[in-house]
């Protein structure tokens, strides 16, 4: 019977995959940002534009912070990574609350636009990323080739 | 007791606003508990998997990170409900 190695002593020195995922999410987020901002501008006016920009920034910073916590703590130990993720979740929720609480009475904020953009950006980017990650993880042979023409010839 | 006597002195609109704020806080609290349990379970199992099979750590970390983000979406939805009805 195999024994599980102690998670407190195990550390991961390999490449931090979550950092590359988060970088990819930020890149995709910046691509779709003008579309979201335009939609919010049409629905809620100029306040909607500023609120959606703020919400997109919040979501992208949240992704980047989550990835940084996992990548940093995994290099030290898996036990610390678990603690880091759990306390990181609380800290990040607190930071989002603080970021919204500080601007809630500002003249340029539209809370419906802010809320809608937070949910749509977070879930939309994850689903978009999941499509590529799921293809490359579950069926490596199905991963889209970099040069389709060369692959077809060979 | 002092809080109850203060509540009794509120007018109709103030009472409604106080009820909305307390419901929003309650909803946000409930919405944050579920993802907290989910993330704890998910990361615990991932750590176990990575400790058993370090060669599969890259794949586990990728799915773990996406799982954390999806679970956190529930808390964000609760937060948005909170800011829309209570803030």
- A67 part of a folded domain: yes
Residues of A (107-136) whose Cβ lies below 8 Å from B: 111-112, 114-116, 118-119, 122-123, 126, 129-130, 133
Model confidence at A154, pLDDT cuts 50, 70, 90, reads very low
Q: Which domain holds residue A95?
A: 16-132
The structural domain count of chain B equals 1
Question: Given CB atoms, is A60 within the 8 Å cutoff of chain B?
Answer: no
Could you list the residue range(s) of the whole structural domain that residue B51 is in? Answer: 34-87
Classify residue B54: in a domain, yes or no: yes
Cβ proximity of A117 and A56 under 8 Å: yes
Q: Which residues of B touch A14 (CB under 8 A)?
A: 57-58
Q: What is the pLDDT of residues A104-124, one digit of tens each?
A: 888 999 999 999 999 999 999
Residue B21 lies in a domain: no
Overall number of domains in chain A: 1
Q: Does residue A4 fall inside a structural domain?
A: no
How much is the pLDDT for A123?
94
Window 39-58 of A: residues touching B by CB (8 A cutoff) are: none
Residue written as tokens 């802010």? A114
Q: What is the CA radius of gyration of chain A?
A: 20
Name the nearest CA neighbour of A19 among B61, B68, B41. Answer: B61
List CB contacts (< 8 A) between A4 and chain B. 48, 51-52
Run of H or E residues at A18: helix A17-74
Report how far residue A89's alpha carbon sits from residue A95's, in angstroms, rounded to the nearest whole number.
10
> Does some domain include residue B17?
no
CATH of the domain at B62: 1.20.20.10
Q: Residue B79: inside a domain, yes or no?
A: yes
Reported confidence tier of residue A87, pLDDT bands at 50, 70, 90? very high
Residue A60 lies in a domain: yes
In contact, A132 and A140? CB cutoff 8 Å: no
Q: Helix, strand, coil proportions of chain A in percent (round to 5)? A: 80, 0, 20
Report the chain B residue with the minimal C-alpha distance to residue A20: B62
What's the complex ipTM?
A: 0.79
pLDDT digits (tens, 9 = 90+) for B35-67: 999 999 999 999 988 888 888 888 888 889 999
In our burial notation (b when 16+ CB lie closer than 10 A, e otherwise), range A80-117 reads bbbebbeebbeebbeebbeebeebeeeeebbbbbbbbb
Q: Are B75 and B32 in contact (CB under 8 A)?
A: yes
Three-state DSSP string of A66-84: HHHHHHHHHCCCHHHHHHH
Which of B57, B66, B79 is the closest to A12 by Cβ? B57
The answer, for A106 touching chain B at a CB cutoff of 8 Å, is no
Encode pLDDT of A35-48 as tens digits. 999 999 999 999 99
Question: What is the CB neighbour count within 10 angstroms for residue B20?
Answer: 12
Nearest CA in chain A to B57: A12
Q: Above pLDDT 70, what percent of chain B?
A: 87
Question: Under an 8 Å CB criterion, which residues of B touch A?
Answer: 32, 35-36, 39-40, 43-44, 47-48, 50-52, 54, 57-59, 61-66, 68-70, 72-73, 75-77, 79-80, 83-84, 87
Read off the tokens for A113: 């636009």
| A126 is a domain residue | yes
Whether A66 sits inside 8 A of B65 (CB atoms) is yes
Domain contains A6: no
């Amino acid at each position: 019977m195999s024994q599980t190695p102690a998670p407190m002593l195990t550390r991961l020195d390999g490449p931090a995959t979550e950092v590359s995922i988060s970088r990819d999410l930020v890149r995709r987020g910046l691509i779709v940002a003008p579309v979201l901002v335009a939609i919010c501008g049409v629905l809620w006016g100029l306040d909607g534009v500023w609120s959606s920009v703020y919400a997109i920034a919040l979501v992208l910073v949240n992704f980047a912070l989550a990835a940084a916590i996992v990548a940093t703590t995994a290099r030290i130990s898996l036990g610390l990574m678990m603690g880091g993720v759990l306390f990181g979740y609380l800290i990040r929720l607190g930071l989002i609350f603080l970021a919204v609480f500080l601007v809630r009475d500002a003249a340029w904020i539209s809370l419906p636009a802010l809320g809608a953009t937070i949910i749509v950006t977070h879930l939309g980017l994850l689903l978009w990323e999941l499509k590529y990650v799921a293809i490359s993880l579950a069926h490596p042979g199905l991963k889209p080739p970099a040069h389709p023409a060369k692959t077809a010839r060979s | 007791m002092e809080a109850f006597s203060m509540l009794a002195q509120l007018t109709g609109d103030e009472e409604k606003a106080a009820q909305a704020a307390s419901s929003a806080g309650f909803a946000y609290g409930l919405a944050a508990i579920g993802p907290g349990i989910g993330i704890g379970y998910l990361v615990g199992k991932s750590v176990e998997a990575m400790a058993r099979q370090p060669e599969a750590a890259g794949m586990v970390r990728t799915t773990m990170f996406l799982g954390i983000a999806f679970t956190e979406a529930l808390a964000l939805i609760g937060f948005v409900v909170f800011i829309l009805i209570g803030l």
